[in-house]
Structure 1
Amino acid sequence: MNRRTFFLGTALTTLLPPLPVLAAPTPATLYKNPQCSCCEGYAAYLRQNGFTVDVKPTNDLAEISENAGVPAKYQGCHTMFVGNYVVDGHVPVEVVRKLLSERPPIAGITLPGMPTGSPGMTGPKTQKFVIYAVTKDGKAPTVYATV
């Protein structure tokens, strides 16, 4: 290496700001009813927001959700596992990121049902979404976030 190349490289290294490190995509596995298309919309939404999503059709969705700690009346139309948590239903990505950054001692979160205007669902949002925290010890779900 000659002096010119060395000095040019040194100058560029000290004068230019560091390049941002691109975060690796967050892996997730989403279980869905084989006939449900809104779940594919939710998976696409997650992919657009930095997740890699492995979609697995199943006819055992209620059992998967229940085994993960989501009571029947709080279940959504699909169940996702991400970062050692369960995320049930059409939970907005900012709430999923909040869960993954805060790392609370819960089994996961759920947005019950299929609310209009939620990620992956059609139509305008007509109400606030209440996302619940669930545990595996049988305690009643509590409000985790409202968006």
Structure 2
Amino acid sequence: MRRRHLLSAVAAGALACALPVRAAKALPRVDVYKSPSCGCCTAWVEHLKAAGFPVNVVEVDDTTAMRRRHGLPERFGSCHTGIVGGYVVEGHVPAAEVKRLLVLKPRAIGIAVPGMPPGSPGMEVGGRQDPYDVFLIDTHGRETVFAHYPKS
């Protein structure tokens, strides 16, 4: 009887190994509002796609209305606005921080990299890598540092 149990266990283990590995959960779509003529925004979209995000681009003349609609204070504005998982992602935010935001799910409006810092995704300028912060914007419009770049 022991031999039969052993053979059954071996067969079950082999079957389990032969089953396909469950696929990782797909990332949610990012809706990106950007100017039709902005090259750095297009480069940021490509950065998101390379990180596995499906992206829907909506070309607009001005992203201010989208920021205002979602309650993001204008001082955090940049050249494009993304919406993902109910959060605003403003400016040249690294995809890794977008993923971290979606895992942590803080009570917040979203995250932002104000301005257009050289070395941020989509703003690569030769080897230049200026330091910049990714801010978490709480529901009252206050910021805290969510990440600092370049990472040390």
1:73 aligns with 2:88: no
| Correspondence for 1:104 among 103, 106, 110 | 106
Q: Tell me, what secondary structure is at the counterpart of 2:108?
A: coil
Shift of residue 73 of structure 1? 2.1
TM-score (normalizing by structure 1): 0.82
| Correspondence for 1:45 among 37, 44, 47 | 47
Q: 1:136 and 1:61 mapped to 2: Cα distance?
A: 20
Q: Tell me, what secondary structure is at the counterpart of 1:133?
A: strand
Q: Tell me, what secondary structure is at the counterpart of 1:50?
A: coil
- What residue in structure 2 maps to residue 3 of structure 1? none
1:128 aligns with 2:122: no
Shift of residue 16 of structure 1? 4.9
Report the residue type matching 1:131 in the other structure.
V
Superposition misfits of 4+ residues, deviation over 6 angstroms? none
- RMSD over aligned CA atoms reads 2.3
> Within 5 A, what are the aligned runs for 1:17-28?
19-28=21-30
| Correspondence for 2:117 among 110, 115, 118 | 115
Q: 1:43 and 1:14 mapped to 2: Cα distance?
A: 39
Report the residue type matching 1:51 in the other structure.
F
- What residue in structure 1 maps to residue 34 of structure 2? 32
Sort the Cα spacing of 1:67 and 1:10 in 2 relative to 1 into closer, same or farther, 3 A. Answer: same
- What residue in structure 1 maps to residue 60 of structure 2? 58
Aligned residues: 140
Which structure 1 segments of 5+ residues have no match?
1-6
Report the residue type matching 2:40 in the other structure.
C
TM-score (normalizing by structure 2): 0.80
Shift of residue 21 of structure 1? 1.8
Contact 1:70 1:135 in 2 (8 A): no
Deviations 1:3-33 (A, max 9, x none): xxxx9x7563145586252332321100001
1:83 aligns with 2:85: yes
Q: 1:73 and 1:11 mapped to 2: Cα distance?
A: 58
Shift of residue 142 of structure 1? 2.4
